Amino acid sequence: MIGDAVFPAEPWQVREPSLDLDRLGSTESVFALANGHIGVRANLDEGEPHAIAGTYLNSYYEQRPLPYPEGGYGYPEQGQTLVNVTDGKLIRLMVDDEPFHVAHGHLIAHERILDLRAGVLRRRVDWVSPAGRRVRIRSCRLVSFTQRAVAAIDYEVEAVGHEVRITVQSALVANEEQPQESSDPRVAAALDRPLVAVGQDTEQHGGVLLHRTRASGLLMGAGMDHVVTAPGAYDEETDVRDDWARTTVVTVLRPGERLRVTKLFAYAWSSSRSPQALRDQVAGALTGARYAGWAGLAAAQRAYLDDFWDAADVEIDGDPVLQQAVRFGLFHVLQAGARAERRAIAAKGLTGPGYDGHAFWDTEGFVLPLLTYVAPHAAADVLRWRHSILGQARHRARTLGLDGAAFPWRTIHGEECSAYWPAGTAALHLNAVVARAVERFRQVTGDTALEAECGLEILVETARLWLSHGHHDADGAWHVDGVTGPDEYSAVTDDNLFTNLMAARNLRAAADACARRPEAAARLGVSAGEPGAWRAAADAVHVPYDERLGVHQQSAGFTRYAPWDFTGERPDQPLMLRAPYFQLYRRQVVKQADLVLAMHWCPEEFTAEQKARNVDYYERITVRDSSLSACTQAVMCAEVGHLELAHDYAWEAALVDLRDLHRNTRHGLHLASLAGAWSAVVEGFGGLRDHDGVPVLAPRLPEGITGLRFRLRHSGVRLLVEADHETVRVSMRDGTDTRLPIRLYGEDVELTAGDPVRRPVVPLKPLLSPPEQPPGYKPDRAAPAGRGASDSAVFPRETGR
């Protein structure tokens, strides 16, 4: 199997049957809970032992300087790092006079379950203290989807065999000590006590702490409240200091009796509001949570997820491992974006400190295609966030000597935070990917209001960027030079094919949007000649192609580079740890899908034969030193008929964190790969594409999958696609008066509610035999784990996520 099967393959949950302290870092990420606003790592309730303590608020960051051995014009000077804010999930337990600790006494049983339908993390512990006192502990934790500022823990202790004195200490703690992590850029920059105390209050059953960051000046508040249920008398007291608050509950339990403490904790932050206003906001959130109670919060959580799964679930027959992993990915993508509400979705979501909490092109490129189909409100809010940082993007473009707007390669607040120029500033394709997300949202949802609100301006400003960066040669062809495409092993190249095609799509989309909204375009200062110039550039875009080999070139001249010698390579570590970029940049070796991604996202630009030949050629030189690659390779291998190879790649994308394939899950989940697992299955095996607002379907399943059913939203209605190896059935689940055109195996049909469309599966015969991969890089489900970098590896500033 790929990796070690730590978690049994169960369809609706991820279960850790026993505690493995060596895996604590990765399970803290896997079991993390979030709602897009708050994120809490799955640290044990009592806080120790832990790998990385983590509680995060979306976009709450600290500034730090970016040092350079040799500076240069246009280099970003300030970085931004997500802050580990006040920890509200701590609940310590004393049994008589001994603290409960999983590494002391006798741990009879320890189980944790992430329930994907209920949206909670359950924990069950059976423990005997060194003095022989036995207790059973049950806790259940949630971060509320329906009350954005609220998280809660239901904590219960039962005495077994003896009468015991139970002391529960529930705490808020700011400025927790953090471990010294490696220089891997996925690890957040070390912050030494970033929070400065502003104020604190003692409440009836808890407390509130207010803090401000030292450099960025952001204010935050954290508060807690408690509901105690005990069989007899108990004592409760609260103490508050600058950096901590503690509520202590003491009682005596006879055998079989239970103490239950429901802890409610809430957060708020602002760059402009007063401490008093923020304190009142936290208190109000706690009052609302207390009014709902644990039962109310849990019921609302389940109802929210019932609605989500009703329009998002993917059912896979025959492969229970992939089934679990795809649902796990869907759940975590929802957690990252559900209540982000005009803030970014970072590469790690809110599950860990990796990449300093920055958002990259991962968001619009890999996460939004999923959210647009299953949770369009969340996708819309991410695009609103991009629009909110348009001012910084315009300023960055001016710094680069370009028109329009240049969105940052990595950021939290909107300023460019990438200190590595070849894989940051030069990666201008980000702007076209943002534009693609705007256009896809309109086409898939049918919602035109977002384009009027903010989408048109994004399209116009990114189109202006491309026109100022590209140029026409003497023959009239339009070129984009000096850029880095998705493959960071081929940096600062000319005419990267992916970038060229995506820029052309961006230019056409902007021209079309201006034609739809001429008055709005005029208000943005779009001149009469601009749309025509955009179309002319797009129509003349240069597409590098090697006539001798019969394949497209990833960038101009790529196929004339010397091949990489894979003799003696060790795929357990990325090439960039074993070879200088000087060698990587001038060889035919591909870090991640680049030209193959162009075929995935711009399918109309390639014939079926070209796709088959390109897949064959680039498979042999792609090493997947990025988690962004396997999902796209799965989609394109399925499209050209290599279904078993696509199945292997789908596994790799889906299991990147459940099997810790890159050995860095401890720093946070690979959100783009988890979203990409959905793409591998739905776009790969389901054949889902979208052509000018018309859903296109062509399901074909590998041998190991006997049936596939997936739900999605399109044009305001819910669709269900069901396929096996013989038949496909597409139905509309609502929209009584709606008629939706779809294309099924190339046939245009009309879908109406109550009248599903059935067709036999149309098999596809591959034009070529399945391609080979570089030695040691085959995505084999039967192979052992070991790809990727170890936690102690030293990485360059930018690497694939």
- List pLDDT tens digits, range 584-629: 999 999 999 999 999 999 999 999 999 999 999 999 999 999 999 9
Share of the chain above pLDDT 90, in %: 89
Domain boundary among 308, 330, 345: 308
The two beta strands, 78-82 and 739-744, are unpaired
Helix (DSSP H) and strand (DSSP E) numbers for the chain: 19, 34
CATH number at residue 89: 2.70.98.40
Distances (CA, A) of 69 to 72, 79, 394, 785: 10, 16, 28, 37
Among 259, 278, 308, the domain-final residue is 308
H-helix or E-strand containing 391? Answer: helix 390-399
Q: Where are the alpha helices (DSSP H) in 602-700?
A: 608-619, 630-639, 643-654, 671-678
Global confidence as pTM: 0.96
CA dist., res. 630 & res. 579, Å (int): 22
What pLDDT, on a 0 to 100 scale, did the predictor assign at position 736?
78
Residue 334 resides in a domain: no
User: Which range, of 93-102, 335-344, 408-417, 790-799, averages the lowest pLDDT?
Assistant: 790-799
In this prediction, residue 68 carries a pLDDT of 83
**Could you report the per-residue pLDDT of 398-417, keeping only the tens digit for each?**
999 999 999 999 999 999 99
In a domain, 125, yes or no: yes
Say whether 207 sits in a helix, a strand or coil. Answer: strand
Q: Please tell me the predicted confidence (pLDDT) of residue 573.
A: 84
Share of the chain above pLDDT 70, in %: 96
Residue 99 domain-assigned (yes or no): yes
**pLDDT at residue 61 in the model:** 97
Question: In b/e form, how buried is each residue of 93-121, taking b as 16+ CB within 10 angstroms?
Answer: bbbeeeebbbeebebeebebbbbbbbbbb
Which structural domain, as residue segments, surrounds residue 131? 31-308
Is residue 178 one of the residues assigned to a domain? yes
Q: How many CA atoms lie within 13 A of 621 on its CB side?
A: 24
Rounded Cα gap, residues 634 and 460, in angstroms:
33
What local confidence, expressed as pLDDT, does residue 320 receive? 97
> According to the model, what pLDDT value does residue 571 have?
78
> pLDDT tens digits for 308-331?
999 999 999 999 999 999 999 999
Mark which of 308, 341, 372 sits at the end of a domain: 308
- What CA–CA distance (Å, rounded) separates 415 from 3? 38
**What torsion, rounded to 10 degrees, do the Cα atoms 397, 402, 404, 409 define?**
-40
What pLDDT is recorded for position 70? 81
- Give yes or no for residue 189 having a pLDDT over 70: no
**C-alpha–C-alpha distance, residues 118 and 301, integer Å:** 6
Give pLDDT, residue 794: 29
Q: Does residue 796 have a pLDDT over 70?
A: no
Which pairing describes strands 694-697 and 739-744: parallel, antiparallel, or unpaired?
Answer: parallel
If you average pLDDT over residues 272-296, what whole number do you get?
97
Express each pLDDT in 628-639 by its tens digit.
999 999 999 999
Indicate whether 791 pLDDT > 50. no
For tokens 């949950």, the residue is: 13
Task: Report the amino acid identity of residue 717.
Answer: V
> Which residues belong to the active site?
488
Q: Please tell me the predicted confidence (pLDDT) of residue 67.
A: 80
Q: What SS3 class is residue 304?
A: helix
pLDDT at 801 over 70: no
Whether 779 and 645 have beta carbons less than 8 Å apart is answered as yes
Tell me, yes or no, whether 731 lies in a domain: yes
Query: How far apart are alpha carbons 178 and 63 in whole angstroms?
Result: 18
Residue range 683-721, pLDDT digits in tens = 999 999 999 899 999 999 999 999 999 999 999 999 999
Task: Establish if 228 belongs to a structural domain.
Answer: yes
pLDDT(800) > 60: no
pLDDT score of 789 more than 80: no
Q: pLDDT at residue 444 above 60?
A: yes
pLDDT at 423 over 90: no
Q: Is the pLDDT of residue 797 over 70?
A: no
Q: What per-residue confidence (pLDDT) applies to 790? A: 34
Interacting residues of 240 by C-beta distance below 8 A, sequence separation 6+: 200, 201, 202, 207, 209, 246
Assigned domain for 628 exists: no
On whether residue 215 sits in a domain, the answer given is yes
How far apart CA 236 and CA 160 sit, in angstroms, is 23
Q: Determine contact, residues 537/466, Cβ cutoff 8 Å.
A: yes
How far apart CA 211 and CA 219 sit, in angstroms, is 6
Q: Are 214 and 104 in contact (CB under 8 A)?
A: no
Please state the φ and ψ torsions of residue 408, each to the nearest 5 degrees. Answer: -70, 145
Mean pLDDT of the chain: 94
400 Cβ partners below 8 Å, 6+ apart? 74, 406, 425
Q: Which residues contact 65 (CB under 8 A, 6 or more apart)?
A: 77, 78, 79
Of 123, 93, 169, the C-alpha closest to 27 is 123
Hey, what are 560's tokens? 């004339």
The mean pLDDT of 205-225, rounded to a whole number, is 97
pLDDT in tens, 92-145: 999 999 999 999 999 999 999 999 999 999 999 999 999 999 999 999 999 999
Place of tokens 């010698």: 565
**CA-to-CA dists, residue 546 to 56, 292, 554, 595, 693, angstroms:** 49, 65, 10, 13, 33
Residue 187 has pLDDT above 60, yes or no: no
Split at pLDDT 50, 70, 90, the class of 577 is: confident
- E strands of 243-288, at which residues? 244-253, 258-270
Going by pLDDT thresholds of 50, 70 and 90, the confidence category of residue 570 is confident
| Contacts with 276 (C-beta within 8 Å, 6 or more apart), sequence order | none
Distance in angstroms (rounded) separating the CA atoms of residues 493 and 559: 13
pLDDT value of residue 181 = 60
pLDDT at position 28 is 98
Domains contained in the chain, number: 2
